[in-house]
Homo-oligomer: A and B are copies of this chain.
Amino acid sequence: MRTSRNKTRYLILGLLNEGPLSGYDIKKIVDWRFSYFWSESYGQIYPELARLEAEGLIGACKADEGSRKDKKRYQIKSEGLIELKKWLAEPAEKEVVRIELLLKLYFSNLTAPEVMADQVKEFEISHKRQLELFKQFEQQLAETKQLGDNHDEILMVLSFGQKVLVSYVEWSRDVIKKLEEKR
């Protein structure tokens, strides 16, 4: 019991607390700015938006002028804010990590080292790409630093991404080298 789960709710509430957004917008934000620590699919976002609206935690609001009329934007209601704050006070659940690459590497004495090296290279590239995205966001943030509201908190989250992503890339390089020496 007492398993909170359904974090999509809180992601939505958290983002909506900074301003009105559509489901599409939310997906984009997660993919761009949160990609190194979070992910969502439309199949989660749209139904959750509907549920939150039905529960009265968020409400539909007018589409932006200058944007298409079929775009549905939502804004947070006071009930939603209460729910969000409640979640913030609860302890975070232990995250589940599953890194397939490491599982493969663990058993990879059954394959040629170059096969594994290719996979680690792919891993490196993918995380370098994330690091790029990440730096773009960092820069974007530096340019628009007026929104000091949760500026400090965002910087802490960014420092996590920075540190971990760099670790991933460094580790990849080491391992690729070792695997290539094995050939």
A residues apposed to B, CB below 8 Å: 7, 10-11, 14, 17, 34, 36-39, 81, 84-85, 87-89, 91-111, 115-116, 118-119, 122-123, 126, 149-150, 152-154, 156-157, 159-160, 163-164, 167-168, 170-171, 174-175, 178, 182
Q: Which of B39, B122, B167 meets A97, CB within 8 Å?
A: B39
Partner of A91 from B17, B108, B119 at Cβ < 8 Å: B119
Given A91-B122, A115-B89, A153-B107 contact (CB < 8 Å)? yes
Cα of A11 to Cα of B98 in the assembled complex, Å? 11
Q: Are B153 and A99 in contact (CB under 8 A)?
A: no
- Known contacts: A111-B85, A156-B175, A171-B160. The answer to whether A92 contacts B101 by CB under 8 A is yes
Known: A91-B119, A98-B37. A156 touches B110 (CB 8 A): no
Partner of A17, one of B11, B14, B110: B110
User: Which residues of B are found within 8 Å of A110, using beta-carbon distances?
Assistant: 17, 81, 84-85, 88
What is the bound-complex CA distance between A157 and B175, given in angstroms? 9
Cα distance, A119 to B123, chains bound together (Å): 30
Q: Out of B100, B153, B157, B175, name the residue touching A93 (CB < 8 Å).
A: B100
Instruction: Please tell me if the beta carbons of B106 and A154 are within 8 angstroms of each other in the complex.
Output: yes
Taking a contact as CB atoms under 8 Å apart, the answer to whether A92 and B106 are in contact is: no
Indicate whether A171 sits within 8 Å of B159 (C-beta atoms), given known contacts A38-B98, A84-B107, A88-B110: yes
* Minimal Cβ-Cβ distance residue in B for A156: B175
A167 touches B163 (CB 8 A): yes
Q: How far is the CA of A55 from the CA of B160 in the complex (A)?
A: 44
